[in-house]
Amino acid sequence: MLHGEVRPDGGLTHGLGLRATAAIAAGTVIWFPCRNCPTWTMQERALLPRDVDARLDMWGHLLADGRLLVPCAGAHLMNHSCAANVLDFGLDFGLAVRDIAAGEEVTCDYGAFFADEGWTMRCHCGATECRSDVASSDYDDPALRKGWVGLVSAALPATRVVDQPLGPLLASQSEVYRRVVAGASTVDDAANGDSIVQPGFLT
């Protein structure tokens, strides 16, 4: 599920991506893997033409149960940035970690996808802190993880006060989100073992 003011658009840092159509405040839930997101088991993927499977693999998240989930409503098009404005580290939803202006690209950090292994990507995000080569091994970098935890934790208190169009639906499936709304103010307080690859609806 994707925030209604975030839409697919072209001409972004890595071509097609997502753009905010209105200002979105830090602390707003931007997307989460939901029950309507299509999934494929390994057996189903083995029957797909190779190019189709490769495309799904590029767009999708490998879930802890081995299925591949492609985020619905266009959320699969979210591009990477080394200065991402949306992070999901320690959460089972993507959170705006800073204010996003109307017209700004909406991005996440692919390095935080710990279940998808063995990939590298040349980055053109243009951020001053750009890592140039982004890889699945970025997840193992303590400095990066510390940065993600800090950014997510800093945005969590705002989660309770900003407009949350996705809040009711997310609350129905995410224990992590319920903990945040109840007052968890750090990733460690909120963490429940759930993550983007192990969303609450799986358990």
123 binds Zn ion (CB under 5 A): yes
Residues recorded for the chain = 203
Q: For Zn ion, give the closer residue by CB, 125 or 187.
A: 125
Interface size with Zn ion, residues (CB under 5 A): 9
| Rounded Cα–Cα distance for residues 145 and 147 (Å) | 5
Q: Are 37 and 196 in contact (CB under 8 A)?
A: no
Angle in degrees, CA 70, 71, 74, rounded to 5? 115
By CB under 5 A, which span of 22-30, 49-57, 68-76, 195-203 interacts with Zn ion? 68-76
Which lies closer to Zn ion via its Cβ, residue 1 or residue 151?
A: 1
Q: How far is the CB of 202 from Zn ion (least distance, A)?
A: 13
Alpha helix (H) ranges present in the chain? 42-46, 50-59, 142-159, 167-171, 175-181, 187-190
Q: Residue 22: what are its φ and ψ, rounded to 5°?
A: -150, 165
Nearest distance from residue 183's CB to Zn ion, in Å?
27
- Asked if 158 interacts with Zn ion (CB under 5 A), we say no
Part of the chain binding Zn ion (CB under 5 A), chosen from 82-90, 94-102, 109-117, 189-197? 82-90
Footprint on residues 16-45 left by Zn ion (CB under 5 A): 34, 36-37
Residue 132 falls in which region: left (phi positive, over 0), alpha (psi -120 to 50) or beta: left
Nearest approach, Cβ of residue 79 and Zn ion (Å): 10
Q: How far is the CB of 32 from Zn ion (least distance, A)?
A: 7
Q: Note whether 125 binds Zn ion by CB under 5 A.
A: yes
C-alpha 189/C-alpha 58 separation (Å) is 32
Q: Does 190 bind Zn ion (CB under 5 A)?
A: no
Compare residues 31 and 184 and give the one whose CB is closer to Zn ion: 31
Q: How far apart are CA 141 and CA 146, in angstroms?
A: 9
Span from 115-123, 160-168, 175-183, 194-202 in contact with Zn ion (CB under 5 A): 115-123
Closest CA relative to residue 158, chosen from 169, 147, 167, 148? 167
In the complex, the residues that contact Zn ion under the rule CB under 5 A are 1, 34, 36-37, 72, 82, 123, 125, 130
